[in-house]
Amino acid sequence: MLDLRQIASFADYFVVMSAASARQIEALQEDLTLALKEAGVGIFHREGRPASGWVLVDISNVIVHIFAPEEREFYGLERLWGAAPQVVRIL
C-alpha cells in the first residue's frame, strides 16, 4: 500500500496486489466487492478485466490495483510512484 497523500490530490492510497491468474484476479475483485458492500462502502469506478491481467477498483480515496505478475512489472506503479512511502507490504 502506497501513501499518496503528500504527492497526489486524486487519492490517499494505492493498494497494489498480484494474482497468479485471471481467475485469482476475479476472485480477489469479487471478495473485495463483497467486503466493501458488507461494510457499507460504495465503489465509485471499476476498470479493466481479469482476462486483461489488471483490474482497478476505485473506492474514492483508496484505489486498488489487482495485477497479474507480467502486467504489474510492466506498469511498475511502485516505480512510478516511488516518492510515495510504502505503509504496508505483504509478500
> What percentage of the chain exceeds 70 in pLDDT?
100
Q: Which residue has the cell 499518496?
A: 4
pLDDT attached to residue 2 = 97
Mean pLDDT across 12-31: 97
Mean pLDDT across 73-80: 95
Report the distance separating Cα 78 and Cα 35, nearest Å. 25
Tens of pLDDT along 46-70? Answer: 999 999 999 999 999 999 999 999 9
C-beta separation of 43 from 34 below 8 A: no
CATH code, 13-80:
3.30.460.10
pLDDT attached to residue 91 = 78
User: Which residues are CB-contacts of 88 (< 8 A; sequence separation ≥ 6)?
Assistant: 1
